[in-house]
A and B are shown apart, each in its own frame.
Chain A
Amino acid sequence: MSGNTIIEAKGLELWYGDNHALKGVSLEIPENRITALIGPSGCGKSTFLKTLNRMNDLVPGVRIEGQLLYNGEDIYGPDVDVTRLRKQIGMVFQKANPFPMSIYDNIAYGPRTHGVRSRAKLDDIVERSLRDAAIWDEVKDRLNKSALGLSGGQQQRLCIARALAVEPDVLLMDESTSALDPISTGKIEELALELKNRYTVVMVTHNMQQAVRVSDMTAFFLLGELVEFGDTERLFSHPRDKRTEDYITGRFG
């Protein structure tokens, strides 16, 4: 069932100072699928996610070796335009982080940054992004109100809309439902399933039921290593590695 590979890691190594956080990770992330990254805290899954849009560049003392290809091009190549890369690979964070601005300006921020000035065009992008993130009906009458007045779940969907507004190909979700109640979580999971028709989604999750519910592929990380990667259904029903089995049956983590 796996489609074209959009992101491919080959022997990826990462150090934070002396801390060897990723050890020879190799995997292929298929296009238009949801790939879940699971594993106990500190296993490297979030670190791996953040290498994909080079957000790890912001951490002082970080060092990366190995290859990470996006559509065949090295993400860490010398002439990669990081701002363009981040436009193509969007990100939604663990904690909803709308800017302290109006809902409209939150969504319009990305397009404006990338040079869209026309009001009509921005109006169009704002509406489309909010519709795509399934929050348009809840906010259409208050676009000029502060985004900080929304509930936690709404804020997170707003952040998804904000990420979609720059028309990315890939959406990274870093435990994006972990701070939300079950109903909001359900809405975002539904949304993710909807989004995979047009985007590739890579999500870090602590919640194994969530990985089972929404993802097509699952990668299990432990202590910086990729232990097992495969079809979600297969990985959870017939784990090939003893450590995967121990983790998914709740024996540790």
Chain B
Amino acid sequence: MNEAILSKEAGAKVKTAAKTAKNKKSGARGALEFTMKALFLICGLVAVGFVLIISVYLIVSGIPAIREVGLLEFLGGTDWDPANRSGDPSFGILPMILTSIYGTAGAIVIGVPIGFLMAVFLSKVAPRRLAAVIREVVDLLAGIPSVVYGLVGMIVLLPAIRDLFGLPAGDSLLAAVFVLAIMILPSIISVSETALDAVPREYEEASLALGATELETYFRVSAPAAKSGIAASVVLGVGRAIGEAMAILMVAGNVANMPSLLSSVKFLTTAIAGEMGYADGLHRQALFSIGLVLFLFIMLINAALNLFLKRSKEGQA
């Protein structure tokens, strides 16, 4: 009896010892866990930090020029002649704002129908193998550096436009619209396709069973059911197009005219990219202000995108 109690006590002691050892071990692991978590947090904060720094920097460096030129004069002025050494520079960016808006709108008008039809084809119509090949190609299209788009546009598109319309040079808003339309295709295709893929098969079966053809089904049932995702793809395309600089710098001609389809134009982005190299003084500050305007556009577009993506998720839930 006594012995039994003793051995029990001994057993308990051993157990306690084992427990302590275990705790120690889990203590070491816990420390590692803690460090890693901290590391992840820091990495996350770095990203947030950069966004904050860029925002603050843009606001701080963008405001002085706007203040000096005057907000209305800056946003509403139609004349951009910042380096006029004869003493009368002007800082109206309306031509560039309109060019960016028209160029983006043009790219959407051309790119969205093509991208949407392509997405329907890939998601619903194409044989699986062909779809896989095309998807690869589309991904490749997304990976081509924008300077290459510009180069091809310069060599192929500009002479074509020049000859077709009998212009002295092909550099134009039209050329930029074409280049942008092709550049936004991959995002429109892949986001729309994902949305179309997520449409429950039951909807399509119901439509087919009512005697609708496959095409009627895709356009009247599948596409409406995927509309939030498709809208998100359009907004994503807008964001891409409005932020693009390099490719259009090479085909737009870069003269700050009020935009028309066949004339040389300057975008918000290309003004910054093209002029920063030689700008100084108020001109330089005005370029930062353009950056701020562009930044506000993109913020707006991102907010819209998040809204659509959220709706698209809720729609499927």
Q: What distance in Å separates the Cβ of A105 from its nearest Cβ neighbour in chain B?
A: 10
Q: A99-B225, A100-B225 are in contact. Are A55 and B206 (CB under 8 A)?
A: no
Inside 8 A of A58's CB, which chain B residues have their CB? 205, 208
Q: Are A95 and B206 closer than 8 Å at their CB atoms?
A: no
Q: Are A95 and B202 closer than 8 Å at their CB atoms?
A: yes
Contact of A87 among B200, B207, B211 (CB under 8 A): B211
Q: Are A84 and B211 closer than 8 Å at their CB atoms?
A: yes
Inside 8 A of B209's CB, which chain A residues have their CB? 53, 55, 86, 90-91, 93, 163
Q: Does B37 sit within 8 A of A, measured CB to CB?
A: no
Q: How large is the interface on B (under 10, 10 to 19, 20 to 34, 35 or more residues)?
A: 10 to 19
Q: Are B210 and A163 closer than 8 Å at their CB atoms?
A: yes
Q: Does B83 sit within 8 A of A, measured CB to CB?
A: no
Q: Are A97 and B200 closer than 8 Å at their CB atoms?
A: yes
Q: Does A237 sit within 8 A of B, measured CB to CB?
A: no
Alpha-carbon distance between A95 and B203 when the two chains are bound, in angstroms:
11
Alpha-carbon distance between A86 and B202 when the two chains are bound, in angstroms:
16
Q: What distance in Å separates the Cβ of A73 from its nearest Cβ neighbour in chain B?
A: 16
Q: Does B30 sit within 8 A of A, measured CB to CB?
A: no
Inside 8 A of B49's CB, which chain A residues have their CB? none
Alpha-carbon distance between A95 and B200 when the two chains are bound, in angstroms:
12
Alpha-carbon distance between A113 and B207 when the two chains are bound, in angstroms:
9
Q: Does A159 sit within 8 A of B, measured CB to CB?
A: yes
Q: Are A99 and B221 closer than 8 Å at their CB atoms?
A: yes
**CB proximity to B under 8 Å, residues A158-205:** 159, 162-163, 166
Q: A97-B200, A99-B225 are in contact. Are A113 and B206 (CB under 8 A)?
A: no
Q: What distance in Å separates the Cβ of B308 from its nearest Cβ neighbour in chain A?
A: 16
Inside 8 A of A80's CB, which chain B residues have their CB? none
**CB proximity to A under 8 Å, residues B153-209:** 200, 202-203, 205-209
Inside 8 A of B212's CB, which chain A residues have their CB? 83, 109-110, 113
Alpha-carbon distance between A100 and B316 when the two chains are bound, in angstroms:
10
Contact of B210 among A98, A100, A113 (CB under 8 A): A113
The listed residue with most A CB atoms (<10 A of its CB), out of B200, B207, B216, is B207
Inside 8 A of A85's CB, which chain B residues have their CB? 211
Alpha-carbon distance between A113 and B209 when the two chains are bound, in angstroms:
12
Q: Are A99 and B203 closer than 8 Å at their CB atoms?
A: yes
Q: Are A100 and B315 closer than 8 Å at their CB atoms?
A: yes
Alpha-carbon distance between A101 and B221 when the two chains are bound, in angstroms:
9
Inside 8 A of B203's CB, which chain A residues have their CB? 97, 99-100
Inside 8 A of B207's CB, which chain A residues have their CB? 99, 109, 113
Q: Does A240 sit within 8 A of B, measured CB to CB?
A: no
- Residue on B with the closest CB to A148? B315
Q: What distance in Å separates the Cβ of A213 from its nearest Cβ neighbour in chain B?
A: 25
Q: Are A83 and B213 closer than 8 Å at their CB atoms?
A: yes
- Residue on B with the closest CB to A95? B202
Q: Does B145 sit within 8 A of A, measured CB to CB?
A: no
Q: Does B224 sit within 8 A of A, measured CB to CB?
A: yes
Q: Does A114 sit within 8 A of B, measured CB to CB?
A: yes
Inside 8 A of B216's CB, which chain A residues have their CB? 113
**CB proximity to A under 8 Å, residues B246-280:** none
Alpha-carbon distance between A110 and B208 when the two chains are bound, in angstroms:
10
Q: What distance in Å separates the Cβ of B123 from its nearest Cβ neighbour in chain A?
A: 15
Q: Are B211 and A113 closer than 8 Å at their CB atoms?
A: yes
Q: A100-B315, A109-B220, A113-B220 are in contact. Are A93 and B208 (CB under 8 A)?
A: no
- Residue on A with the closest CB to B315? A100
The listed residue with most A CB atoms (<10 A of its CB), out of B202, B203, B209, B224, is B209
19 A–B contacts from the bound complex (CB under 8 Å): A55-B208, A83-B211, A84-B211, A87-B210, A90-B209, A91-B209, A93-B205, A93-B209, A95-B202, A97-B202, A97-B205, A99-B203, A99-B207, A100-B224, A101-B224, A109-B210, A109-B212, A109-B221, A113-B216
Residues of B at under 8 Å CB distance from A? Answer: 200, 202-203, 205-213, 216, 220-221, 224-225, 315
Known contacts A53-B209, A97-B203, A109-B212; 4 additional CB pairs below 8 A are A95-B202, A100-B224, A113-B207, A113-B212
Q: Please name the 6 residue pairs, one residue from A and one from B, whose CB atoms are nearest each other, closest first.
A: A87-B211, A97-B202, A110-B210, A91-B209, A86-B211, A83-B211
Residues of A at under 8 Å CB distance from B? Answer: 53, 55, 58, 83-87, 90-91, 93, 95, 97-101, 109-110, 113-114, 159, 162-163, 166
